[in-house]
Homo-oligomer: A and B are copies of this chain.
Amino acid sequence: MSSAPIAKATTAKGEETRAQILAAAVEQASACGFESLTIGSLAEKTGLSKSGLFAHFGSKLDLQIAVLDESARRFTEAVFLPAMKVPRGLRRLRALFENMSGWAQRASLPGGCPIDAAMREYQYQPGPMRDAVLERQNLLDRELAKAVQLAIDTGELAPGTDPRQLAFDLLAISLAFNRTEILHGADEAKRRASVAFERLISHHTP
């Protein structure tokens, strides 16, 4: 009985350490990609022992998948959760789109979105990392298409709107936003993306 609080404390400490490792690893994946995630490089970065890291993540692949999951969690937290507080329909779609643009920089990941980094790294390399990345990118497509469907349901978008096509169009703008931000700065990226978004929505307004 008396060991229960100690066990609990140990678990809480373990979870804290795991969260600390993941935070460092997400940052590293954002800046240097998922192939840079080795137990050795993270031991150096966090000041933990290699054996301590092994206790949390048995292999490089386990670590990479955990970092992908943590990146997806942070994307959800930065993009989807705030949008869920906005009424469904066009306002929510707009919030989603605005939250997507530059979310990584706002989430203190100056190296950009880690899931995009993983997409670039693994898109042509069959294996468990590629499968895991594609699954998460597919989920994004489905969630965006769902948000479009809700805006059709509220009557704010025309009934003939194809939700998958509009999701494609929104992702297109978001990808071009990232590229333009690098090339010409955040102000131009925002201006171009905003013009493209408003034109797209006005085309589908009933």
> Which residues of chain A have a CB within 8 Å of any CB of chain B?
31, 33, 110-112, 116-117, 119-121, 123-124, 134, 137-138, 141, 162, 164-165, 168-169, 171-173, 175-176, 179-180, 182-183, 192, 195-196, 199, 203
Contact = CB atoms under 8 A, between A and B. Distances in A.
21 contacts: A111-B124, A112-B123, A112-B124, A117-B120, A120-B120, A123-B182, A137-B183, A138-B183, A162-B195, A165-B196, A168-B192, A168-B196, A169-B176, A169-B196, A171-B176, A172-B172, A172-B173, A172-B175, A172-B196, A175-B175, A199-B203
Interface residue SS majority, chain A: helix
A206 to B, nearest CB: 16
Given A120-B117, A124-B31, A199-B203, A179 B171 contact: yes
List the number of copies, as a whole number. 2
Contacts of A31: 124
